[in-house]
Chain A
Amino acid sequence: MIDWVLFVVLALVTLGGALKVVSAEDLVHVVLWLAVTLLGTAGFYAMLDAGFLAAIQVLLYTGGVITLMLFAVLLVRREGGHIPAGGVAEPARAGVVALATAALSGFAIVRGGLLEGEAYRLEPKALGQVLLGPLALPFEALSVLLLAAMVGAIVLARRKDA
């Protein structure tokens, strides 16, 4: 029962945050609401026995990425970071497509005959063994990707001729 209460609360926080992310008119607010959503997701991770991921989500994502985004917003912000509200037609079209996508997913989830199954307990140890065992090579490849992204970001940001 307590699980359900927790779940509903987290869902409200997460989805509410998400809605504010796509509707807020100030860029700083947008980023901060994203932080709320990410924290809610971290809560879900914790409920799902993924404590390690929850920690990463909070530390790296909510801590690092949100900070980075705030920097970017402050760097590029003009007109006080205010996003002018579009007309009615554009959000309506976007809403239809987004709703169709979500509805299709929901339909697939509800009618897809997923095995609910019982929850397993997963130790962080198991994750570590997988990462350093069979997934060691992709793990290392990922570090190369991050390096490339870093180099790319520096090169892009330092361009003077653009």
Chain B
Amino acid sequence: MSYAILAIVVPAASFLVLALVWPLRHTGRPAAWLSTAAALVSLACAVLALGEAPAMGAPPELLTWPWLVRGGEVIADVGFRLDGVSAPMLVVVTFVAACVQVYSLGYMAEEPPAALGRYYTWHSLFIVAMGGLVIAPNLLQLVAGWELVGLCSYLLIGFYWRKPSAGKAAVKAVWVTRFADIGLMLGLVLLYVQTGGFSWEAQAATSAVAAFLFLGVMGKSAQVPLHVWLPDAMEGPTPVSALLHAATMVAAGVFLVVRCWPLFEHADTLLLAMSWIGAITALVAAVTATVQTDIKKILAYSTCSQLGYMVAGLGSGEMLGGYFHLTTHAFFKALLFLGAGSVIHAVHSNELGDMGGLGRKTRTTMVLFGIGTFALAGLPGLSGFFSKDLLLEQVAHAGQYGPLAILLFVAGLTPFYMMRAWCLAFLGEPSPKAAHAHESPAVMLAPMAALAVLAVGLGYAGGPFGAMVGEPYTFHLTPVGIIATVVGLSGLGLGYAKYGLGKLQGLEVPALAAVVRAAPVDTFWAQAWSRGLLPFAKAIGWFDRYVVDALVNLTGWVAIVAAERARTIQTGRARDYLYAVALGAVVVAAAGTIGGISS
């Protein structure tokens, strides 16, 4: 337990030091080292905490203090809860965070010192916030962490604040997730109303609570149609995208469902809806990713797609698949983002058109990015294969064949677009920009290698992971898994044939591109804003101006009129005041005299 506490307290201390000691923060590199050291210590503690964490089913290790108390009864605690769900996630968060912070030492090296210090300050805060979310003993603290990671997301997306697009993207991310958080708040209130507390283990809660909470999940985990903020969030530095917008923060939504599984478990209608929403998200995002030319956008839509996978997996009514896919995805998607960052670092452009032929210059990056690609594609033996297989099998087991069919199609589409990105970046003839590319320094490659190890090997930890989470799991190949593998391999093959070998010119993507353009989600939201929200706000504004304000003005008017009448008492003649004094004295004396004589 003490390790879990340290895993959060150490980055918290780092954050406080960086936030309060501005001379240190402005030195840049020392601040970066402090934060990175804290992140590494935090990682070590999280791993040790995982070792001593009780599995689900066993009583969790708790260390809490009363937070909200009403009439002697504790409504909500604040503190630490180490169990089979929180411990693995804590390791995921700290591992990716540590990798990203080390990587950033190289990637962000050319930033001005003050900006670098700011960057690492927010990174330290992010570990605290995400750790607090993961290890929360109740839903209230989880939501507090949820909001804090949202804040970090805002701050880090807008890191290049001189770029107007970065500022807009940061604001957009806040607005979209806040909009979804309305549902989360309603769920929270409803949970309190129904159970008198904020525990997700409360028996009295109905599935309406889960439904409201899921609205928040849709915003945070970028489910259609609330996914629009995630591609824009790529305005942030690439390591930030890897940590927040691929591995951990966007997965917070999925984690919330896993964490609050007792609330979701029996909400059958909601689970079915989750399956469909997840599947549709997976499909839409994957199709969109196929036609992107910006390597980060491809990965962003891919993340969105994989989050859809996780949500659909949870919709099957068993949470192990979704959660397992969350952990494996965190590592290989972070690896992919860091690889993309390495490529961007080499050519100073996000566009695939500016790359090409990088394989010769940046061989290590090519291999590591390839490992990520294959893991995501579900190549047998790599981690993505195991988690995706388990997830699909659970969806099939639940009898949700519609979502299953979509997910299987996406299982083919994913390797296709990933292979496209890999081929266009690393194979073929170098573009003019790519001619002067150079391999990234070791400080960037080492974290990628660490992530690659887990991207390959984590699939084999499914057994212990299942035991930890409380749902036994042993790998066995099922018909669904075989189909998915075949589909995935054909996707890989097609992608390589088309973009690697230059064949299959007949198979073009305009059809898909048309589909993407026909689904103008951003336009939809803009319309919803201007047609729906704005008139609503105007109506409220009218009410506020002419009803609420009128009441306020009425009280003021009454006071003014009363004062106008009352001021005539003040004649300004000293004599009148004296009369008042004399008469008052007479009255008091008379009362005293008569009272004194009669008693």
- On whether A and B touch (CB less than 8 Å), the answer reads yes
> Is B597 touching A97 in the complex (CB atoms < 8 A)?
no
Selected from A93, A97, A100, A112, the residue in CB contact (under 8 A) with B593 is A112
> Is A101 touching B585 in the complex (CB atoms < 8 A)?
yes
> Is B586 touching A104 in the complex (CB atoms < 8 A)?
yes
Q: Is B583 an interface residue (CB 8 A)?
A: yes
Complex Cα spacing A130 to B589, Å:
30
Chain B neighbourhood of A101, CB < 8 A: 582, 585-586, 589
Residues of A12-63 whose CB lies within 8 A of B: none
Q: Is A122 an interface residue (CB 8 A)?
A: no
Measured CB to CB, the nearest residue on chain B to A105 is B589
Residues of B571-586 whose CB lies within 8 A of A: 575, 579, 582-583, 585-586
Q: Can you identify 12 A-B contacts, CB atoms within 8 angstroms?
A: A93-B579, A97-B586, A100-B586, A101-B586, A101-B589, A104-B586, A104-B593, A107-B593, A108-B589, A108-B593, A111-B597, A113-B597
Chain A neighbourhood of B586, CB < 8 A: 97, 100-101, 104
Chain A neighbourhood of B596, CB < 8 A: 108, 112
> Is A97 touching B583 in the complex (CB atoms < 8 A)?
yes
Selected from A90, A97, A105, A111, the residue in CB contact (under 8 A) with B582 is A97
0/1 string, A94-106, CB within 8 A of B gives 1: 0001101100110
Chain A neighbourhood of B585, CB < 8 A: 101
Complex Cα spacing A4 to B531, Å:
103
Chain B neighbourhood of A93, CB < 8 A: 579
Min CB distance A110 to B, Å, is 10
> Is B582 touching A104 in the complex (CB atoms < 8 A)?
no
Complex Cα spacing A112 to B595, Å:
11
User: Interface size on A (CB < 8 Å)?
Assistant: 13
Residues of B555-599 whose CB lies within 8 A of A: 575, 579, 582-583, 585-586, 589-590, 593, 596-597
Query: Which 8 interchain pairs have the tightest Cβ spacing?
Result: A108-B593, A97-B582, A101-B586, A100-B586, A104-B590, A104-B589, A111-B597, A104-B586
Min CB distance B160 to A, Å, is 63
Chain A neighbourhood of B593, CB < 8 A: 104, 107-108, 112
Measured CB to CB, the nearest residue on chain B to A108 is B593
Min CB distance A100 to B, Å, is 6
0/1 string, A103-133, CB within 8 A of B gives 1: 0110110011100000000000000000000
Q: What residues of chain B have their CB less than 8 Å away from a CB belonging to chain A?
A: 575, 579, 582-583, 585-586, 589-590, 593, 596-597
> Is A97 touching B579 in the complex (CB atoms < 8 A)?
yes
Complex Cα spacing A90 to B597, Å:
33
Secondary structure of the A contact surface, majority rule: helix
Chain B neighbourhood of A98, CB < 8 A: 582
Measured CB to CB, the nearest residue on chain A to B575 is A90
Complex Cα spacing A104 to B593, Å:
8
Chain A neighbourhood of B575, CB < 8 A: 90
Q: What residues of chain A have their CB less than 8 Å away from a CB belonging to chain B?
A: 90, 93, 97-98, 100-101, 104-105, 107-108, 111-113
Min CB distance A113 to B, Å, is 8
Min CB distance B591 to A, Å, is 11
Complex Cα spacing A23 to B575, Å:
17
Complex Cα spacing A116 to B149, Å:
89
Complex Cα spacing A93 to B575, Å:
11
Complex Cα spacing A34 to B589, Å:
27
Min CB distance A25 to B, Å, is 19
> Is A112 touching B579 in the complex (CB atoms < 8 A)?
no
Chain A neighbourhood of B579, CB < 8 A: 93, 97
Chain B neighbourhood of A113, CB < 8 A: 597
Min CB distance B586 to A, Å, is 6
Selected from B582, B583, B590, B597, the residue in CB contact (under 8 A) with A112 is B597
Min CB distance B40 to A, Å, is 73
Measured CB to CB, the nearest residue on chain A to B585 is A101
Complex Cα spacing A152 to B467, Å:
91
Min CB distance B595 to A, Å, is 11
Complex Cα spacing A146 to B583, Å:
31
Complex Cα spacing A120 to B113, Å:
96
Min CB distance B587 to A, Å, is 10
Chain B neighbourhood of A90, CB < 8 A: 575
Chain A neighbourhood of B589, CB < 8 A: 101, 104-105, 108
Min CB distance B588 to A, Å, is 10
Min CB distance B576 to A, Å, is 10
Measured CB to CB, the nearest residue on chain A to B589 is A104
Chain B neighbourhood of A107, CB < 8 A: 593
Complex Cα spacing A89 to B485, Å:
114
Complex Cα spacing A105 to B583, Å:
14
Measured CB to CB, the nearest residue on chain B to A98 is B582
Min CB distance A120 to B, Å, is 25
Chain A neighbourhood of B590, CB < 8 A: 104
Min CB distance B573 to A, Å, is 11
Min CB distance A97 to B, Å, is 5
Chain B neighbourhood of A97, CB < 8 A: 579, 582-583, 586
Inter-chain pairs besides A90-B575, A98-B582, 8 sampled, C-beta below 8 Å: A97-B579, A97-B583, A101-B585, A101-B586, A104-B589, A108-B593, A108-B597, A112-B596
Complex Cα spacing A107 to B586, Å:
12
Min CB distance A117 to B, Å, is 19
Chain B neighbourhood of A111, CB < 8 A: 597
Chain B neighbourhood of A104, CB < 8 A: 586, 589-590, 593
Complex Cα spacing A97 to B583, Å:
7
Complex Cα spacing A98 to B586, Å:
10
Measured CB to CB, the nearest residue on chain A to B590 is A104
Measured CB to CB, the nearest residue on chain B to A100 is B586
Measured CB to CB, the nearest residue on chain A to B596 is A112
Complex Cα spacing A108 to B590, Å:
9
Min CB distance A41 to B, Å, is 22
Min CB distance B50 to A, Å, is 78
Min CB distance A86 to B, Å, is 10
Complex Cα spacing A102 to B104, Å:
95
Complex Cα spacing A81 to B590, Å:
38
Min CB distance B596 to A, Å, is 7
Measured CB to CB, the nearest residue on chain A to B582 is A97
Centre residue among A98, A104, A112 by max chain B CB count within 10 A:
A104
Min CB distance A43 to B, Å, is 28
Complex Cα spacing A100 to B589, Å:
11
Min CB distance B546 to A, Å, is 51
Measured CB to CB, the nearest residue on chain B to A113 is B597
Chain B neighbourhood of A112, CB < 8 A: 593, 596-597
Complex Cα spacing A97 to B575, Å:
12
Min CB distance B333 to A, Å, is 81
Complex Cα spacing A91 to B589, Å:
23
Complex Cα spacing A81 to B100, Å:
98
Complex Cα spacing A108 to B589, Å:
9
Measured CB to CB, the nearest residue on chain B to A109 is B593
Measured CB to CB, the nearest residue on chain B to A101 is B586
Min CB distance A116 to B, Å, is 17
